[in-house]
Amino acid sequence: MGFFELAILEAALLGALSGIVGTIVVLRRRAFFTVALTHATFPGGVIAALLGLNILLGAAVFSIVLVGIMLVISRVDRQGSQVASGVVLTFGFALGALLQSLNRDMSVQVDTFLIGNILTVSPGDIAVTAGVLVLAVLCVLFAGKQLLFSSFDPQGYRLAGFRPVAIDLVVLGLIAATVVVSMPAVGSILAIALIAGPAVSARLIMRRIEWMIPLAVLFGLVSGVGGLWVSRVFSVAAGGGIALTACAIVMLAVAYDRVRQYRAERSANGGREA
């Protein structure tokens, strides 16, 4: 397979994975958490590159450390989860920038971490992405009901005798894994577009929750593969192309939602006048 076929495969896998995990992120309102985590993988990648390890490994280890720090800070009174995300996010970026500035002659350039490069993705990266995708599908198949219940009614979930900690850990793990595997392809900053975009569009278009994930996966696929095509045609950064395509789909979904609301209001008014 040539490098462009590999890139298409990776984009498709990532799109599907982001559709599934993104839906969970949107429903559970963990968008800022996810953004913080994506930024925090930056220093992990730099450290791994300095030590000569796989970038994925560095990002994974560092994201586990930072999730721990965030959990601690969010439990301190007068701090809360927003402050926790803010602190961890800026810490990640500052550390990455510092390490990078200390090692000017590093072979890997800074944009590799920040906006990724899907055209240089390795078969190993693709295998890991596929593995995480299988894991996410399994989680939704076997724990989908619990995921939904705990997202919409956390108190009821606890009172019904389930353990919220367990499901929280599953969700955190899935988000972190997705963020880590998407870093080589779309980078730390743009990953959130692929994660949040398709899910937001699906939510705007579909009222029924069981259709949200399939639709988000479809949008994810379109954003990934279509974005890659856009970047090739207009010769712009691939990560940027993918993120912009995801955002364009959101715009279309917003427009569709507006038109639908407008029609509904008009028909309601017409009914009253008649």
Among 50, 61, 73, 148, binds other proteins (CB under 8 A): 73
Angstrom distance (rounded) from CA 46 to CA 42: 6
Q: What are phi and psi of 167, to 5 degrees?
A: -70, -35
- CA distances (Å), origin 181, targets 58, 63, 86, 186, 260: 11, 12, 22, 9, 37
Q: Does 247 bind other proteins (CB under 8 A)?
A: yes
Contact call for residue 93 and other proteins (CB under 8 A): yes
- Looking at beta carbons only, is 119 or 130 nearer to other proteins? 119
Torsion of CA 47, 50, 55, 60, to 10 degrees: -20
- 81 sits near other proteins (criterion: CB under 8 A): yes
The piece of 13-21, 82-90, 119-127, 134-142 that touches other proteins (CB under 8 A) is 82-90
When asked if residue 117 is in the footprint of other proteins (CB under 8 A), the reply is: no
Q: Maximum Cα–Cα distance for the chain, whole Å? A: 76
Distances (CA, A) of 41 to 9, 35, 179: 23, 10, 8
Cβ 154 to other proteins, closest distance in Å? 5
Of 235 and 267, the one with the shorter C-beta distance to other proteins is 235
Is 87 a binding residue for other proteins by CB under 8 A? The answer is yes
Distance CA 53, CA 56 (A): 9
- Rounded Cα distance, 259 and 266, in Å: 10
Q: Using CB under 8 A, which of the segments 52-60, 137-145, 194-202, 208-216 binds other proteins?
A: 194-202
Q: How far apart are CA 232 and CA 58, in angstroms?
A: 30
Binding of residue 147 to other proteins (CB under 8 A):
no
Binding of other proteins by 220 (CB under 8 A): no
Our finding on whether 252 is near other proteins (CB under 8 A) is: no
- d(CA 213, CA 17) in angstroms, rounded, equals 10
CB 20 to other proteins: min, Å: 15
Q: Are 229 and 181 in contact (CB under 8 A)?
A: no
The single residue among 154, 170, 206, 252 that binds other proteins, judged by CB under 8 A, is 154
Q: Which residues bind other proteins (CB under 8 A)?
A: 25-26, 29, 31-32, 34-35, 73-83, 85-87, 89-91, 93-95, 97-98, 100-102, 104, 109-111, 114-115, 154, 189-190, 192-193, 196-197, 199-200, 203, 235-237, 239-241, 243-244, 246-247, 250
